[in-house]
Structure 1
Amino acid sequence: MTQSYTDEFVDNSQLAGTPRQGWLSTLAKAPASEVLRLWEGLVAPESQILRPAETGMVMVRGRTGGAGNPFNLGEMTVTRCAIRLATGETGIGYVAGRDKAHAYVAAVADAMMQSSVWHDQVRDGLIEPLQQASDARRDVLSRKAKATQVEFFTMVRDRKA
């Protein structure tokens, strides 16, 4: 992924808040083992690989204070894949790390979610269970953090004496 392809850049503002952004995020953030386990229960249509799963690096950017000037935080390993279903839908998969099977499954699931024929099957069998598992993990972490919360209070002294 050292080459730069100008036709690959997408205006992310068009994706912001779309359902597709949601399921791509769910697929990318889910543990590969969960994605692959749930994928085994689905029947995938024939697809053509447009870009085989390949691993590379991306620059992670940060902002000071969340709103300051952007800076390069460091590089992160990602794996990407692009496929096209026989019915014409194109899917992409970008995942953190080096798991090529995870990226491939994410790409096929993305394409299937765009198809009226496959959408419900993938949503019910893959996306929703992954989202529920993510919500459960977030709830457990939230409860652990809440258990360590310390409440401070301040006593005000009357200085008029």
Structure 2
Amino acid sequence: MSPNPSIERRRRWLSVLAKAPSTRLQALWQALGATPSYVVLRRPEIGLVMVQGRISGTGAPFCTGEMTVTRAAVRLDGGEMGFGYVGGRDTRHAETVAAIDALGQRADWTERLEAELVAPLAREAEARHRLIAARAAATKVDFFTVAREAGT
């Protein structure tokens, strides 16, 4: 069974928006101009979640510690509900993610939000990852063993 494309898009959007630098997200959000108003269903709340890891990436799970998160929920006048969860304590970031999530459920806003908000943030995130990888690669050391033949 293939996943629903709108669900996959929403997952990707929420991931990109939650990881985006808050100041950059706010700048792009403001650049959209007039957006539909929304009602806050759940004002931004700050809490903790337990973070789990796995031994060797696939082994037994273990708790690595707690992480601060902020969540918010909003509803547009048309009834679309949006949810925002972000790492850290930035309440404005969580509320903005929730508003974009709700607005992204409207067919007349989907393409605009993708082009003007999500795609630029995704490209910037990819560029940051490439830069980090390049910096890490510059420090790579290759260790090897030279085997000598007996008697030489």
User: Normalization by structure 1: what TM-score?
Assistant: 0.84
Q: Pick from 87, 91, 106 the counterpart of residue 96 of structure 1.
A: 87
The equivalences for 1:1-161 within 5 A come to 18-42=8-32, 43-159=34-150
Give 1:14 deviation, angstroms: 8.6
Mapped to 2, the partners of 1:160 and 1:18 lie a distance apart of 63
Mapped to 2, the partners of 1:22 and 1:159 lie a distance apart of 58
Give 1:55 deviation, angstroms: 0.7
Give 1:126 deviation, angstroms: 1.1
SS in 2 for 1:88: coil
Code of the residue aligned with 2:65 in structure 1: it is G
Give 1:130 deviation, angstroms: 0.7
SS in 2 for 1:156: coil
Code of the residue aligned with 1:126 in structure 2: it is L
Mapped to 2, the partners of 1:44 and 1:84 lie a distance apart of 13
**CA 70–14 in structure 1, closer or farther in 2 if over 3 Å, else same:** farther
Moved over 6 A (4+): none
Mapped to 2, the partners of 1:120 and 1:84 lie a distance apart of 20
User: Normalization by structure 2: what TM-score?
Assistant: 0.88
Give 1:57 deviation, angstroms: 0.9
Q: Deviation digits for residues 60-85 of structure 1, max 9, x if unmatched?
A: 11222212221222111100001111
Code of the residue aligned with 1:142 in structure 2: it is A
Mapped to 1, the partners of 2:126 and 2:28 lie a distance apart of 17
CA RMSD of aligned residues (A): 2.0
Count the aligned residue pairs.
148
Mapped to 2, the partners of 1:100 and 1:14 lie a distance apart of 30
Question: Any stretches of 5+ residues in structure 2 without a counterpart?
Answer: none
Give 1:153 deviation, angstroms: 2.9
